[in-house]
């Protein structure tokens, strides 16, 4: 970039940063006039800058009024940088542990790190090693509900780009034949607010996963319970599902999420006891030395 253009770009960045910092220090909000006086910018310059920052989500405007507030994108950046510390300092680990102890099932917390779903914390018996035995704790999006809920805020194009260059899983197992199939499933998950998966990591496996949102309303983690259908009469499935969703919401509230509580619902008997009939197929890939295949032939 030529020096004059670079200088102009850096000036715009500096102004945007000043506006964001000023709004962050004013939780009660500021009118454009008040904001202009504090940042010492001409009205026309401030108007253009606020329009772009609002478009990008860094500034929110009062509905029916003129006051400006710090937007969700700015909150997301700050909370994202502190994510491991935030989760560790809250009751997230304690809540996951209590959920695992309550039902005696494997319970995990998965986070997005560098475009990968990574196991942040797990406890309880491991009935299925499944995605939680992957190298470096990586949980594959295509074959784990806990990882898929991390994609709920992404546009379909973003999901496609994210999955284009990623391996299906540590042993090549594929739960979705294509990215398009996974994108269609995400629409179902967004509508009902949670994901239920069957036999993605071995016969008789069952998984319930719910998103954990931060103060900006963005999904930053997935909480999941993994068990076997043989251990899962319908009433128990409903209890596990309800408790998992409520636990994920409780963690989100502690992170500052102010959204509505999850809808109470039950798991239909067919979801609890039988895998759904969809276009998904489980195709075992080449086995990894020293590890038993997730799908015996």
Residues 107-131: pLDDT tens digits? 999 988 878 888 888 898 876 666 6
Mean pLDDT of 155-180: 71
- The three-state secondary structure class of 289 is coil
How many residues are given for the chain?
A: 297
Mean pLDDT of 158-168: 75
User: Within a 10 A sphere around the Cβ of 46, how many other Cβ atoms?
Assistant: 19
Helices (H), the chain: 3-24, 32-39, 43-55, 72-81, 83-89, 92-103, 145-148, 156-164, 179-192, 234-254, 269-273
Q: Which of 178, 173, 117, 169 is CA-nearest to residue 147? A: 117
Position 71 scores a pLDDT of 82
Position 204 scores a pLDDT of 82
Mean pLDDT for all residues in the chain: 78
Mean pLDDT of 156-176: 69
Distance of CA 294 to the CA centre of its chain: 25
User: Within a 10 A sphere around the Cβ of 73, how many other Cβ atoms?
Assistant: 18
Specify whether the CB–CB gap between 186 and 148 falls below 8 A. Answer: yes
Q: What is the pLDDT of residues 169-212, one digit of tens each?
A: 544 455 677 888 888 999 999 998 999 988 887 778 899 999 99
Parallel, antiparallel or unpaired: strands 68-70 and 219-228: unpaired
Query: What does the alpha-carbon distance between residue 214 and residue 109 come to, in Å, rounded to a whole number?
Result: 14
Position 88 scores a pLDDT of 64
Specify whether the CB–CB gap between 140 and 170 falls below 8 A. Answer: yes
Position 277 scores a pLDDT of 41
Q: Which of 280, 88, 85 is CA-nearest to residue 196? A: 280
Query: What does the alpha-carbon distance between residue 290 and residue 297 come to, in Å, rounded to a whole number?
Result: 17
Q: What is the pTM of this model?
A: 0.64
Distance of CA 105 to the CA centre of its chain: 22
User: Within a 10 A sphere around the Cβ of 39, how many other Cβ atoms?
Assistant: 17
What the block records as the tokens of 52 is 């772009």
What the block records as the tokens of 132 is 């939680």
φ, ψ (nearest 5 deg) of residue 22: -65, -40
Residue matched to tokens 């006039």: 33
Query: What does the alpha-carbon distance between residue 294 and residue 288 come to, in Å, rounded to a whole number?
Result: 10
């Amino acid at each position: 970039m030529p020096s004059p253009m670079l200088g102009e770009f850096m000036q715009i960045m500096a102004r945007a940063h000043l506006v964001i910092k000023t709004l962050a220090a004013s939780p009660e909000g500021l009118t454009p006039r008040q904001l202009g006086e504090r940042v010492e910018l001409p009205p026309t310059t401030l108007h253009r800058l606020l329009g772009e920052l609002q478009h990008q989500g860094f500034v929110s405007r009062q509905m029916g009024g003129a006051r400006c507030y710090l937007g969700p994108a700015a909150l997301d950046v700050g909370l994202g940088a502190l994510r491991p510390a935030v989760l560790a300092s809250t009751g997230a680990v304690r809540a996951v542990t209590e959920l695992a102890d309550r039902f005696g099932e494997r319970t995990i917390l998965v986070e997005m790190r560098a475009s990968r779903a990574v196991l942040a914390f797990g406890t309880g018996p491991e009935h299925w090693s499944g995605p939680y035995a992957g190298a470096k704790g990586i949980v594959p999006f295509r074959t784990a509900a806990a990882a898929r809920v991390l994609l709920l805020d992404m546009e379909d194009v973003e999901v496609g780009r994210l999955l284009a260059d990623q391996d299906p899983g540590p042993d090549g197992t594929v739960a979705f034949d294509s990215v398009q199939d996974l994108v269609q499933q995400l629409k179902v998950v967004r509508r009902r607010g949670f994901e239920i998966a069957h036999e993605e990591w071995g016969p008789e496996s069952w998984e319930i996963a719910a998103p954990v949102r931060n103060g900006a309303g963005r999904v930053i983690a997935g909480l999941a319970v993994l068990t076997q259908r043989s251990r899962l009469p319908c009433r128990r499935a409903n209890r596990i599902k309800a408790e998992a969703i409520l636990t994920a919401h409780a963690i989100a509230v502690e992170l500052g999420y102010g959204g509505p509580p999850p809808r109470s619902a039950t798991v239909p008997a067919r979801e609890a006891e039988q895998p759904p009939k969809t276009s998904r197929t489980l195709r075992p890939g080449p086995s990894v030395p020293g590890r038993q295949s997730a799908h015996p032939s």
